[in-house]
Amino acid sequence: QPVVAVVGRPNVGKSTLVNRIIGRRQAVVEDVPGVTRDRVPYDAQWNGRAFTVVDTGGWEPDAKDRAAAIAAQAETAVVTADVVLFVVDAMVGSTDVDEAAVKMLRRSAKPVILVANKADNTSIEMEATSLWSLGLGEPFTVSALHGRGSGDLLDAILAALPEAPAIVENRPRGPRRVALVGRPNVGKSSLLNRFSGEERAVVDSVAGTTVDPVDSLVSIGGQTWQLVDTAGLRKRVGKASGTEYYASLRTAGAIEAAEVAVVLLDSSEPISEQDQRILSMVTEAGRAMVIAFNKWDLVDADRRYYLDKEIDRELRRIPWAIRLNLSAMTGRAVDKLAPALNKALASWETRVPTAQLNQWLTALVQATPHPVRGGRAPRILFATQAGVAPPRFVLFTTGPLDAGYQRFVERKLREEFGYEGSPIEISVRPRK
Ligand code: GDP
């Protein structure tokens, strides 16, 4: 269960806020001078999501150095927490003690939500804008006592929490689903035939598996794979079946049903519009992708240099796709297919822990901040990975990002964490 730590000076209203978050009048002890409270965890829930709130309480009241005391408190909190709520008093504004704590929190790379409490009315809310100076972005103004703004705050907490862990499946998973796609005559049937020799044995060994009759179970690289919607490929000899429209629907269906797509291109011909459409289908469906340049046996050395440049240009939008030069006819590099599929699938299912992601992000935006536009530069507050297959990220920002900067973040994200063979999605959630 994810942990949310509530950090702040005494009397900013931490206990009241915790009460508000857990939604019931639990006997949360108020800050009482002279009383040292332990860190107390409470169960909380919002929109069906359960989490633990830790009230970091007070500290030794006779501590000589208050700033050091709160820094120590913040330190403990961030070590154990997934998200930190840093609470300040909207009526007081930020103090030296607050600033000392912020320094600590920022170094931790944990998502920090700035809460300006005691904003019981709009005029106090206005004053809270001065809290931007803390460098934690826009404060969430709330009145823990009256409940003002607490819904928005809870939404922000949920958004910042790491995703609930996937339910662990004990049963071995079935064969991975692969779509073998490409325009007519690129060699799909030929490639399938290379694997089909072992098909009978595979089907027998996976007894009890129900495979859609339009799919084929084949062995590639000693591993069983489910090639989706290959019925047409097996029956057909030579002639393309159906209209192009029908074929394209079928391709879309196969991609949708698959986890990873092998897009076959004909190396002896330029990349066509139809090839590009198929490549786009895979990207838009968010599937892992291996591009197989088939008929490589027809490419002579002279053409290779030119071809590489042409290919880079044509595929500049999908530099992450894994490329293979193979020949269904001679069998060249066909053994590279299974490792490529496995690599693409692993990327597709990669999950980066929130702390690691934010550590990296903090360093990135420090080194290369968003350019200033019209006197303002939106800041990225923190990021979470919202899902896998493909990896999806949400960036929480103080405003919309430039398309160019967003592409820069994606490129850097790939440089850091790989994702070879998989698309990744980044969405930006600016604070209102
Ligand atoms: P499909 O329409 O994508 O299933 O393509 P086919 O498998 O029917 O192949 C179309 C044509 O390309 C056939 O004449 C194949 O023999 C030929 N072909 C397929 N793969 C290769 C290859 O790697 N090299 C060469 N030279 N020809 C190939």
Nearest to 83 by CA among 351, 358, 352, 350: 358
Token pair, residue 308, equals: 């590489």
Cβ–ligand 1 distance for 199 under 6 Å, the answer no
- Give the pLDDT score at 367: 93
Summarize the annotated binding site as residue ranges. Answer: 8-15, 55-59, 117-120, 182-189, 229-233, 294-297
What angle do the packed helices 273-285 and 244-257 form, to 10 degrees? 30
Q: Is the CB of 185 under 6 A from ligand 1?
A: yes
For residue 233, give the ligand 1 atom closest to its CA: 4
Distance CA 112, CA 40 (A): 19
| Ligand 1 lined by 15 (C-beta under 6 Å) | no
268 lines ligand 1 (CB under 6 A): no
C-alpha 221 – ligand 1 centre gap (Å): 21
3-state SS string for the chain: CCEEEEEECCCCCHHHHHHHHHCCCCCCCCCCCCCCCCCEEEEEEECCEEEEEEECCCCCCCCCCHHHHHHHHHHHHHHHCCEEEEEEECCCCCCHHHHHHHHHHHHHCCCEEEEEECCCCHHHHHHHHHHHHHCCCCCEECECCCCECHHHHHHHHHHHCCCCCCCCCCCCCCCEEEEEECCCCCCHHHHHHHHHCCHHHHHHHCCCCCCCCCCEEEEECCEEEEEECCHHHHHCCCCCCCCHHHHHHHHHHHHHHCCEEEEEEECCCCCCHHHHHHHHHHHHHCCEEEEEEECHHHCCHHHHHHHHHHHHHHCCCCCCCEEEECCCCCCCCHHHHHHHHHHHHHHHCCCCCHHHHHHHHHHHHHHCCCCCECCECCCEEEEEEEECCCCEEEEEECCCCCHHHHHHHHHHHHHHHCCCCCCCEEEEEECC
pLDDT of residue 71: 62
- 386 within 8 A of 163, measured Cβ to Cβ: yes
**Neighbour tally for 292: CB within 10 Å:** 28
Write out the chain's pLDDT in tens, 432 residues.
788 988 888 888 888 888 888 876 554 555 554 444 555 667 788 888 888 888 776 544 445 666 666 666 667 667 778 899 999 998 888 888 788 788 878 877 788 999 999 888 777 776 777 788 888 888 898 988 888 888 889 989 998 888 765 544 444 567 899 999 999 889 998 898 888 764 444 444 454 445 555 777 888 888 888 898 876 665 444 444 456 666 777 888 899 999 999 999 999 999 999 999 999 999 999 999 999 999 999 998 877 877 888 888 889 999 999 999 999 999 999 999 999 999 999 999 999 988 889 889 989 999 999 999 888 888 888 888 888 999 999 898 888 999 999 999 999 999 999 999 999 999 998 875
Task: Measure the CA–CA gap between 20 and 145, rounded to whole angstroms.
Answer: 8
Does the Cβ of 189 fall within 6 Å of ligand 1? yes
Closest CA to 139 of 120, 113, 121, 158: 113
Q: Which ligand 1 atom is the nearest neighbour of the CA of 237?
A: 8
Measure the CA–CA gap between 259 and 341, rounded to whole angstroms.
Answer: 10
230 close to ligand 1 (CB < 6 Angstrom):
no
Please name each of the domains of the chain with its CATH number. 3-160 (3.40.50.300), 176-348 (3.40.50.300), 354-430 (3.30.300.20)
Q: What is the pLDDT of residue 415?
A: 93
Q: Ligand 1 centre from 248 Cα, in Å?
A: 19
177's tokens: 């689903």
How far, in whole angstroms, is CA 62 from its chain's centroid? 45
Query: 211 near 226, Cβ under 8 Å?
Result: yes
- Closest Cα to atom 17 of ligand 1: 187
Classify the C-alpha dihedral 187-192-193-194 as positive or negative.
Answer: positive
pLDDT for 22 equals 84
Cβ 299 under 6 angstroms from ligand 1:
no
Distance CA 385, CA 160 (A): 9
pTM value is 0.64
Whether ipTM tops 0.90, in short, is yes
C-alpha span between 239 and 412 (Å, rounded): 45
Find the largest Cα–Cα distance for the chain: 88
CA-to-CA separations, 389 to 150, 383, 385, 421, in angstroms, rounded: 33, 18, 11, 12
How high is the pLDDT of residue 239? 47
Return d(Cα 412, Cα 402) in angstroms, integer.
15
- Other Cβ atoms less than 10 A from the Cβ of 47: the count is 8
